[in-house]
Structure 1
């Protein structure tokens, strides 16, 4: 079989990784089949619904960092993908709270001769360089250390001070000589994917472990008898709670949009069956974005925050948005 070019697309929570991958998929060569391995911190599974829109083969690994326990969940997910169908390129999207260095290690140790690791793309939001919570986060730094290409997103929302802080920090961390480009609204030329990967920092000597049973699986579609199911997760200093809702349940779009707009959390993603069609909702940096989708199996919503929230209260408020 042909060796498959593989790219890791990493970056912290809310920088726009999924949006950028959707753009790359929409502009890939028409004759090529691409596959996605996506890892979510939460255990509900939402990104898969967003990325399957054009028939792309997607394998989800939920519930934390897929490189835990010596990369077992990642190895299982990749093996399942490779057995499913032939494809011409693989894109790997680790969770924004994952360790990309150990993802690289798993690829190099377990899939030599099958996958060829090409450029690792790290998305950054310039505003994060004015945030001590981001600058002091070990994962944030590692995502930049492994980058072959640094992609600045959301520059239209950044101030001149944010951009100066970003450039100063990249220079302090001796990253200013790496290729740097911008991706407005997730738009990025695919030629960046073909650059080679360089091993900028040593691979870890041992795997880390955050707990959990692997291989994990996303929540199954709830039954009519129990139309709403919930799953929580925590790790790396963050907390999540997600809900899956039976497809017979329909949300009032205006109510759910207003509720989400009033939430204070680091990250929210949702794919919902509403009275105005199937809608994807995305909350990051206090801004809610909405996208129409063609289909989904059920409704799902996930909230991530750096502090534990009143999940029971939020769950009741969420249910109140049903018609």
Structure 2
């Protein structure tokens, strides 16, 4: 990409499904200097994105790459949307949120490639981790977690208010074992994030590349056998009872659910991981859309019917 832009700081915010990537970026945007333009590139594994409205605000330019991992199956769309974003925003800083089902190595190589070598200046990769997952053998054995851990420069613990002392000990042990540039905890609501981490040097990527070479594999993408993804859209006049909706979603035991819907008493934000469903008031206008990833093997039509049982026309 040839233009007058150069050395734009770019930060990759990684983490598996439900780690809190969008929440962290939303928090960072709140601390953006008002004289700066920031750009955000969000990747959704499904065909439609659900987080754009949450991040949109004055002075922030947003583009979404939907329909697969933007490091592999959506790579062409990544280049198209990134070029548009850079032209429109001419940003002082770029934040990138890949899908929790994606591999970060390809993105790091992409940003350092010939087309963007003089345009983008990669900074420390931030990885979010809910330490409660460290007690799950399936999580520990995940190639996705292995690559995200190895590519991370800064490891941030999320949802720490829900951790047990054992979770904290496991997180501290991981920080001691790995050579991260920094470890920390995502601030609770109202806390201040240390934005200096956004300009920390990219120090672990070379080690990650050596790790990948040493093990002699390329982290093949097997999305065909991965979790099913359903995008559910509901009529604008449909409203949902929060308790009934929570019960329906918990029964699915899905890996991830997120979106916003109209509740009987106002807009609701839906955010859940591994059957833990959080439903809270939403300050933005609801999209009446949900994204459901994994869980019970249910066809989309049946899933929509289950959702609509929790809805009633307003």
Q: TM-score range by the shorter chain?
A: 0.7 to 0.9
Higher relative contact order (CA 8 A, sep 6+): 1
Aligned mates of 1:69, 1:41 — CA distance in 2 = 10
Aligned to 2:209: 202
- Once residues 314 and 79 of structure 1 are traced to their aligned partners in structure 2, the CA distance between those partners, rounded to angstroms, is 37
- 1:6/1:92 contact within 8 Å kept: yes
Change in CA separation of 1:113 and 1:322 when aligned onto 2, cut-off 3 Å: farther
1:46-76 CA distance string (max 9 Å, x none):
0112111456211111122111158322212
Q: Does 1:76 align with 2:64?
A: no
Post-superposition CA distance 1:269-314 (Å, at most 9, x none): 0122344333322123513142423335x42101112563343322
Please tell me whether residue 264 in structure 1 is matched to residue 268 in structure 2. Answer: no
Instruction: Compute the TM-score of the two structures, normalised by the length of structure 1.
Output: 0.82
- With over 3 angstroms needed to count, the CA separation of the structure-2 counterparts of 1:69 and 1:81, relative to structure 1, is same
Query: Do the aligned residues in 1 keep the contact of 2:65 with 2:74 (CA within 8 Å)?
Result: no
Q: Report the alpha carbon displacement of residue 30 of structure 1 after superposing the two structures with TM.
A: 1.2
Q: Distance in 2 between matches of 1:86 and 1:291?
A: 34
Native 8 Å contact 1:8 1:119 kept in 2:
yes
Candidates 282, 295, 307, aligned match of 1:292: 282
State whether structure 2 residue 276 is matched by structure 1 residue 304. Answer: no
Unpaired segments ≥5 residues, structure 1: 212-233
Pick one of 145, 163, 171 that aligns with 1:158: 163
Given the alignment of the two structures, is residue 192 of structure 1 paired with residue 181 of structure 2, yes or no? Answer: no
Written as runs of structure 1 = structure 2, the 5 A alignment for 1:133-282 is 133-171=138-176, 174-185=177-188, 187=191, 188-198=193-203, 199=205, 200-202=207-209, 235=224, 237-247=226-236, 249-254=237-242, 255-260=244-249, 262-282=251-271
| More off after superposition, 40-49 vs 298-307 | 298-307
**How large is the RMSD of aligned CA atoms in angstroms?**
2.6
Greater mean alpha carbon deviation, residues 111-120 or residues 313-322 = 313-322
| Cross-structure match for 1:131 | 136
The answer for unaligned runs of 5 or more in structure 2 is none
Looking at structure 1, the residues matched to 15 and 269 of structure 2 have their Cα atoms a distance apart, in angstroms, of 21
Counterpart among 90, 95, 119 of residue 94 in structure 2 = 90
Q: Which moved further from structure 2: 74-83 or 201-210?
A: 201-210
Cα deviation, residue 85, structure 1: 2.5
Using structure 2 for the length normalisation, give the TM-score.
Answer: 0.85
Q: Which residue of 2 aligns with 1:49?
A: 53
Say if 1:151 and 1:183, in contact at 8 Å, map to a contact too. yes
